[in-house]
Amino acid sequence: MLQRYLIILVLLPMAAMADDAMLAEQAVLALPDSLRTGATVVRFVDGRQIVLKRGNNGIFCRADDPERPGIDIWCYHESHDAYARRWFELAAGGMAGDEVNEQIVQEIEAEKLAWPPLAVNYNLRGPSIDTALPLTVIYMPYATGDSIGITEERHFDRPWLMYPGTAFAHVMIPGQ
């Protein structure tokens, strides 16, 4: 009995490491090839950021949450790390996605949350890794459709501007 218990204690951490390695390998798939090798990969557990793989190019990828259905990978420049940490902290506190976004807008505008003048995020979302679609997001604070020549109407087959006129304004560029 004790021997079986000791084997389980040894194998469980090894299985978790294998899962973390697979998640880290999968997380960088949202990035262009040239950014993959140097990316840092993190997970958020109960609002806390846990590093799965340290990188050196200033890009962070949030690994998929295997507890949730489908694939949802999010990669971003280090200038967005404070935002990512805050987003998952608020979500872990029970806020829904739209509520989190509204709170983030308020915190950016009140200068409580650091926000870069321009940043790019790479996402990969879908029912499975094989069917997930890429989405590139370009944050352009206070942009409007008129100021950059883009529609503010939501589209899933061409670029559009979300949260126009706010500090959280961003262009959504769906992939194929």
**Beta bridge partners of residue 72, listed in sequence order:** 125
Q: What is the pTM of this model?
A: 0.80
Instruction: Identify the pLDDT of residue 17.
Output: 47
Instruction: Identify the pLDDT of residue 176.
Output: 64
Instruction: Please identify every stretch of the chain with a pLDDT value under 50, giving residue numbers as ranges.
Output: 1-18
Instruction: Identify the pLDDT of residue 3.
Output: 47
Question: Which DSSP category does 166 fall into?
Answer: S
Angstrom distance (rounded) from CA 31 to CA 95: 28
